[in-house]
Amino acid sequence: MKCGVLFSGGKDSTYAAYLAKKYENRISCLISIFSENPESYMFHTPSILKVRKQAEIMNIPLIERKTKGEKEEELLDLKFAIKKAKKEYKIEAIVTGTVESIYQASRIQKICDYLDLECFNPLWQKDQIELLKDLLRSSYKIVITGVFAYPLDESWLGKEINEEFIKKAIILNKEYEINPAGEGGEFETFVLGCPLFSRKLKIKDKKIQGKKNSWKMEIEVL
């Protein structure tokens, strides 16, 4: 099946693409929405423009669409991008990295129904700790690019998701109800390496901004 992947450059969308390909689907294109709203209900924002470099080393075409990120209105931009993917790449399905967000899953499903496309959510309702462990088993190199919940702070930016991170995630979940995989929007990620990439990316520069328990890191990669 020809698939278009809703792609943010983070761990979930990248892993969903990997699983879709593993299940013998063809990834015909990536679809990325660049939101001007850092509080977007639907879309990843830190370092989002770097998906271009990820698409390049995956050798997969990338469809881009800007949105102001206004609630519900941003869905019209997503629909436009998916419609374009269907027309240009003849996709038959959309792949998402949605794990628990009913808000995201229901709205993407509605768009797929309207455009007569299948909707494939390979991570849906997956245990979040197991998801993190699966990422490590699959040789993913992932860094934190944004944190948005107490007690997370600036010191978490740039941390790699590894065994130590998973141990801390379990503690944070028990003590502060932080979702281990960031499904409540507590943190966002960027993938530097995975089986889909022809090579690993390296961070050559970074810009950090924020305050208290809301920080983001814009990166330059090569």
* Token duo for residue 216: 């983001």
**C-alpha to C-alpha distance for 94 and 28, rounded to whole angstroms:** 10
Can you give the CATH number for the domain in which 62 is found?
3.40.50.620
**C-alpha to C-alpha distance for 93 and 57, rounded to whole angstroms:** 23
Going by DSSP bridges, is the β-strand pair 2-6/93-95 parallel, antiparallel, or unpaired? parallel
**pTM of the complete model:** 0.95
**141 and 43 assigned to the same domain:** no
Token look-up 């790699």 returns 160
**115 and 197 assigned to the same domain:** no
**C-alpha to C-alpha distance for 19 and 95, rounded to whole angstroms:** 10
**114 and 174 assigned to the same domain:** no
* Model pLDDT, residue 31: 98
pLDDT in tens, 133-146: 999 999 999 999 99
pLDDT in tens, 162-191: 999 999 999 999 999 999 999 988 999 999
What is the extent of the structural domain holding 188? 128-221
**C-alpha to C-alpha distance for 161 and 136, rounded to whole angstroms:** 8
Lowest mean pLDDT: which of 8-17, 43-52, 60-69? 43-52
**95 and 186 assigned to the same domain:** no
Task: Please state at what angle helix 102-114 crosses helix 73-89, rounded to 10 degrees.
Answer: 50
* Model pLDDT, residue 27: 98
